[in-house]
Structure 1
Amino acid sequence: MAGETPGLRADARRNRDLIVTAARRLFLDQGVDVPLEEVARRAGVGIGTLYRRFPDRDALLRAVGEDTLRRLADLVETAQREEPDAWHALCRFLRSSAELRLGELSARLDPHLHQRIRAGHDLAEIRQRVVTAVLELTARAQADGALRPDAGPLDVAMLMTLSVYAPPGVPGDQAVRRVMEIMLDGLRAGGGSGLPGAPPAEDDLRRYTAVDPPPAAD
Structure 2
Amino acid sequence: MHLEYAKLTSAAAAEGGTGRAAPLRVDAQRNLEHVLRAAREVFGELGYGAPMEDVARRARVGVGTVYRRFPSKDVLVRRIAEEETARLTEQARAALGQEEEAWSALARFLRTSVASGAGRLLPPQVLRVQPHDDPEDDAARVPQQRVRSGEDAVLAGVLRDHAASAAAPTPTPAPAAPAAGAGANDAIEEQDGIRTLLDVVGQLVERARAAGELRTDVSVADVLLVIATAAPSLPDAAQQAAASARLLDILLEGLRSR
Q: Provide the TM-score with structure 1 as the length reference.
A: 0.66
- Residues 1:178 and 2:228 aligned together: no
Cα offset for 1:75?
Answer: 1.7
Alignment of 1:63 with 2:79, yes or no, is: yes
1:187 aligns with 2:255: yes
* 8 Å Cα contact 1:166/1:175 also seen in 2: no
How do 1:110-129 residues align onto structure 2 when only pairs under 5 Å count?
A: 115-116=165-166, 120-129=187-196
Partner residue, 2:199: 132
Any conservation in 1 of the 2:230–2:247 contact (CA below 8 Å)?
Answer: no
Q: Unaligned 5+ residue runs, structure 2?
A: 1-18, 129-161, 168-183
* Cα distance in 2 for residues equivalent to 1:153 and 1:32: 23
Q: How does 1:34-73 map to 2 (within 5 A)?
A: 34=50, 36-43=52-59, 45=61, 47-73=63-89
The Cα offsets for residues 93-127 of structure 1, whole Å up to 9 and x where unpaired, read as 2123323444444598989xx6329x821112211
Alpha-carbon displacement from aligned partner over 1:116-140 (angstroms, at most 9, x marks no partner): 29x8211122112111112111111
Q: Between the two proteins, what is the percent identity of the paired residues?
A: 35
Extract unaligned runs of 5+ from structure 1.
191-218
Distance 1:186 1:30 in 2: 28
How large is the RMSD of aligned CA atoms in angstroms?
3.6
Give how far 1:48 is off: 4.2
**Higher RCO, 1 vs 2 (CA within 8 Å, ≥6 residues apart):** 2
Alpha carbons of structure 1 residues 48 and 27: separation in structure 2 relative to 1, 3 Å: same
* Structure 1 range deviating more: 92-101 or 129-138: 92-101
Residue range with higher mean Cα deviation, 36-45 or 84-93: 36-45
Give the Cα–Cα distance (whole angstroms) in 2 for the partners of residues 83 and 155 of structure 1. 21
Deviation at 1:55, TM superposition (A): 1.9
The secondary structure found in structure 1 opposite 2:229 is coil
Based on CA coordinates, which of the two structures has the bigger radius of gyration?
Answer: 2
Q: Distance in 2 between matches of 1:33 and 1:105?
A: 12
1:19 is matched by which residue type in structure 2? V
Give the direction of change, closer, same or farther, for the CA distance of 1:164–1:43 in structure 2 (3 Å limit): closer
* Cα distance in 1 for residues equivalent to 2:124 and 2:221: 21
Change (3 A) 1:33 1:166: closer
